[in-house]
Each structure stands twice: as structure tokens, then as C-alpha cells.
């Protein structure tokens, strides 16, 4: 049995097992929210995948990018995800902390195909913890 954790997005709660939910409303405005799904504790030096559920009520196509300001000791693998216009898609990115620590990271999501190519963005803060 999987845990369905709602995230409050621009258009209402999103049922997801992913720790993050991106919603794109019918006006093509993007919003990202933290769901109740746990991220868990990371092991230092190991890559950890964070899932993202995308609910696309605007039928936006094009790249969905994740950007972040550098954080000491944090490595990120942030591939650009291609939005197909489907109502629901799954995406992911990877994080790795070099040593046991706790970091606060701000992620910015940009859907470059929204509103005729204008970049819309939304940010979310994540508290990541790595322990031996």
C-alpha cells in the first residue's frame, strides 16, 4: 500500500507519493508545493532521487527546468524534463550531500513553454538531512 500525500498547488490538492508537486493552471501559471510525502534521511556521499508529480491543467508543452543557487556540500543532478501537454506526468531529480549535515535549499521551477514562451516560475524550500 502506498501513501498518497496531498500537496496544495495552484488548482487544489494533488494526490501523490512524490515529495513535490508542480501544477500548471489553465492560464499556464506554474506553482510548486511540498506534499506530505517524506523525503527521508540521505546517506552522505550517495545519490538520492526526489520524485516530482506534474499536473498540467494548462496543457503546456516544452521544457520544465529546475534551478538552484549553489549550496556548499550539496550536489544536484537537475535534468530538464519535457512537458508533453499530458494532464499528469512524473519527473525526478537527484541530490547528494557530501557529509553528514542539514541544508536548506531553494528550488526554482521554470516552464519555458508557458504563456507563449514567457518563463513562469515558482520556488519551494527543502530541508535536506544526511546522517551516517
Domain ranges of the chain: 5-130
Q: Please say if the pLDDT value at position 119 is more than 50.
A: no
pLDDT (0 to 100) of residue 15: 85
Q: Cell 519555458 belongs to which residue?
A: 112
Residue 117: pLDDT band (50, 70, 90) is: very low
Query: What letters, b where the CB count within 10 A reaches 16 and e where it falls short, cover 80-115?
Result: ebebeeeeebebebebbbeeebebebebebbbbbbe
Q: pTM of the entire structure?
A: 0.82
116 by DSSP, 3-state: which?
Answer: helix
- The set of long-range contacts for 115-121, using a CB threshold of 8 Å and a minimum separation of 24, is 115/27, 115/28, 115/29, 117/62, 120/28, 120/29, 120/30, 121/30
- CATH homologous superfamily of 5-130 equals Immunoglobulins (2.60.40.10)
For 8-47, the pLDDT digits (tens) are: 545 556 789 999 999 998 888 889 999 989 998 899 999 9
User: Which among 46, 38, 83 is positioned nearest to 64, based on CA atoms?
Assistant: 83
Bridge-partner residues for 108, per DSSP?
67, 123
Amino acid at each position: 500500500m502506498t501513501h498518497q500525500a496531498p500537496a496544495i498547488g495552484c488548482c487544489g490538492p494533488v494526490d501523490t507519493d512524490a515529495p513535490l508537486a508542480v501544477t500548471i493552471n489553465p492560464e499556464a501559471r506554474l506553482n510548486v508545493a511540498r506534499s506530505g510525502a517524506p523525503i527521508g534521511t540521505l546517506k552522505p556521499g550517495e545519490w538520492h532521487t526526489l520524485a516530482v508529480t506534474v499536473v498540467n491543467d494548462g496543457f503546456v508543452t516544452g521544457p520544465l527546468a529546475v534551478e538552484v543557487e549553489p549550496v556548499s556540500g550539496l550536489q544536484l543532478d537537475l535534468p530538464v524534463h519535457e512537458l508533453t501537454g499530458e494532464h499528469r506526468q512524473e519527473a525526478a531529480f537527484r541530490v547528494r550531500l557530501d557529509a553528514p549535515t542539514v541544508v536548506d535549499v531553494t528550488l526554482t521551477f521554470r516552464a519555458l513553454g508557458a504563456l507563449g514562451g514567457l518563463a513562469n516560475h515558482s520556488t519551494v524550500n527543502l530541508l535536506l538531512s544526511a546522517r551516517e
